[in-house]
Amino acid sequence: MKNVKLNNGVEMPILGYGVYQIPNYDECKQSVLAALEAGYRSIDTAQAYQNEKAVGDAIKESGIYRNELFITTKLWITDYGYEKAQKAFALSMEKLQLDYLDLYLLHQPFNDVYGSWRALEELNKAGKIRAIGVSNFYPDRLVDLISFNEIAPAVNQIETHPFNQRDEDQKVMQKYGVQQESWAPFAEGKHNFFENEELSSIGKKYGKSVAQVTLRWMIQRDIVVIPKSITPSRIKQNFDVFDFELTEDEMNQIKGINLNESSFFDHRDADRVEWFAGLVR
């Protein structure tokens, strides 16, 4: 497994397993166990996914030593604010059954970001979290947070896939030493992703799937990626991406399918911000 070194020296696997949209307890627990058996050691969950307990139980049942694992969860905007963030963190830790967390992210760039970030900074300094970061922060919000706080985010988890490659975002993150992490690496199947001609033709050359080609493309861009599947064979297949390497021409070929826009929604859109605000009110 290839690791990336975060801006505070903590090492993080470049390939992990995500559990978004697996709220069913048994399904989530068995999927995490399948991922751990396949070799994954990084697991990404969130307060909003409503499956932290299943993840924690799977970790416990696996018997894998804690220091071999890298566990991420995220703070949801309904619990933003200095005191509420601390309480939400404690509850997440109780569900995950962990003594410390490897990475804790602010899930959205709205509500009391700064009060929440101060809480994360304190938890980090106290040794309860090894690294802290954000999710869904566009460059302007990211640079603002870095400029006016003591600790810079170690990670920014954002929508990144072949149809929204986020090159400019990556340049800003590299400038400030923030590790880019992808969510929805397969665009949740949008734009006929799994039948894409360019990705399919590259895959045929190596005997790999469209998903494997995409994960390899992400890894060669030094982007952390956390694919999700509930099918054991696909969970295993998604981990099998370290035995081939894309050429420069193939990397450029994939660049050519970039639509350079979100396949879901824009966090800078006023109507979308109002929608998020409505979740808190």
Give the tokens for residue 1. 């497994």
Give the tokens for residue 84. 């509420």
pLDDT tens, position by position, 127-183: 999 999 999 999 999 999 999 999 999 999 999 999 999 999 999 999 999 999 999
Say how far apart CA 187 and CA 183 lie, in whole Å: 9
Residues, the chain, total?
281
pLDDT tens, position by position, 172-227: 999 999 999 999 999 999 999 999 999 999 999 999 999 999 999 999 999 999 99
Question: pTM above the 0.85 mark?
Answer: yes
167-176 and 139-147 are packed helices; what angle lies between their axes, rounded to 10 degrees? 10
Q: Are 179 and 72 in contact (CB under 8 A)?
A: no
Instruction: Give residue 1's pLDDT.
Output: 86
pLDDT of residue 281 exceeding 90: no
- Classify residue 178 by its DSSP letter: P
pLDDT tens, position by position, 62-109: 999 999 999 999 999 999 999 999 999 999 999 999 999 999 999 999
Q: Which amino acid is at 37?
A: E
Whole-Å CA distances, 134 to 111, 152, 245: 13, 10, 30
Does the structural domain 3-280 have CATH classification 3.40.250.10? no
Residue 191 annotated in ligand binding: no
- Active-site residue numbers? 49
CA 164 to chain centre: 15
Please name the residues in contact with 196: beta carbons below 8 A apart, sequence gap of 6 or more.
162, 210, 257
